[in-house]
Amino acid sequence: MKPFSYAKADSPEAAIREVNTEHTRFIAGGTNLLDLMKLQVETPDKLVDISRLPLDEIEEREDGGLTIGALVPNSDLAADRRIIERYETLSRALLAGASGQLRNKASTGGNLLQRTRCYYFYDTASPCNKREPGTGCSAFGGLNRILAVIGTSEHCIATHPSDMAVAMRALDATIITLKRDGDKRRISIHDFYCLPGDTPHIENVLEPGELITHIELPAPVEGARQFYRKVRDRASYAFALVSIAGVVKVEDGRISHAALAFGGLAHMPWRNPDVEAALVGKAPTRDAFEAAADALLDGARGFGDNDFKIPLARRTLLATLRDVTGE
């Protein structure tokens, strides 16, 4: 680990004031950041400890939604009665991720900012455009079984590893931040993440020193079914090969609402309005499900080891839609 200086903040305002070096990073749970610092993939020159900021509450919103403090631990969020009752997809997605120990420490804000688990990003002996822009991508022609098939670029085929963020995307979450100039900003999760393009080292729209303080969830869709399905290489404690978070409602024999987000397929938690358009207004039939899968996988491309993800995503989507729209 490279040396760094350390400051502990007691308020969000104090935290952003402490951002005063070239590579200051906030640390909350630290479960991903410290892991990467040990490997010198992350080399901050200063850590600002935000773990004790008063951002650990879940509060009711007037519209029937919830405001989640950025420091609510993943375990507590998954176990919260209001989350279980209104946002089951979020609770299940959280429980699908990591281990009990990690969920106890990992924060809601930090979970959104997890870095990819691409082997070459972790291996400082290999070229990686995300770790060192311009050095090349070792995953092309390399071990890419766990990597992306949608939204990739010639510079990067990494996936976003979070389960939680996939559910947040299906739930239309809004991320609230405090910028270095003291202004608050509201960012829809749909605008938060970036595709790799030719700048795979830029993963989201946060500015340097911008602090996530809260995540807002709008009121849940009444009468809809929520779910999180995850396909992985072992039964527990493994990242998704394919995952689907969703909110689906069937009324009078037709799908009246569908919000579907996908993990394990892209550089960001993936959501495509065409997938949902293929379902809404239709009867829940195999033909409609196939049309949704066609929309999802239009333009999908495998890179050898991960070719299997394309048919796996189709089958997982079909099976999930069949299960949640059936009796």
Partner 1 sequence: MHWTINGQRYEAEPDIRTTLLDLAREHLGLTGSKKGCDHGQCGSCTMLVNGRRINSCLSLAVMHQDDEITTIEGLGQPDNLHPMQAAFVSHDGYQCGYCTPGQICSAVGMLDEVKKGFPSWVSDDLSSPSLNDQEIGERMSGNLCRCAAYPNIVDAIAEVAGLSEDQRQTSQKVSG
Nearer to partner 1, 38 or 61 (CB): 38
Quote the DSSP letter at residue 73: B
Segment near partner 1 (CB under 8 A); pick from 27-35, 184-192, 193-201, 275-283:
27-35
Contact 271, 170 (CB under 8 A): yes
Nearer to partner 1, 10 or 298 (CB): 10
Alpha-carbon span 155 to 35, nearest angstrom: 24
**Shortest distance in whole angstroms from residue 104 CB to partner 1:** 5
Alpha-carbon span 47 to 68, nearest angstrom: 24
Amino acid at 275: V
Main-chain phi, psi angles of 221, to 5 degrees? -75, 120
Q: For residue 299, state whether it binds partner 1 (rule: CB under 8 A).
A: no
**Shortest distance in whole angstroms from residue 78 CB to partner 1:** 7
Q: Pattern of binders to partner 1 over 77-116, x per CB under 8 A? A: -xx-x--xx--x--xx--xx-xxxxx-xx-----------
Site residues for partner 1, window 236-255 (CB under 8 A)? 236-237
Residue 137 has which token pair? 């991508």
Residue 255 has which token pair? 């799908």
**Shortest distance in whole angstroms from residue 198 CB to partner 1:** 31
**Of 174, 176, 134, 172, which is closest to residue 154 (Cα–Cα)?**
134
Q: For residue 322, state whether it binds partner 1 (rule: CB under 8 A).
A: no
**Of 162, 243, 234, 235, which is closest to residue 203 (Cα–Cα)?**
162
Q: For binding to partner 1 (CB under 8 A), which residues are involved?
A: 1, 3-6, 8, 27, 30-31, 34-35, 38, 47, 49, 51-52, 75, 78-79, 81, 84-85, 88, 91-92, 95-96, 98-102, 104-105, 227-231, 235-237
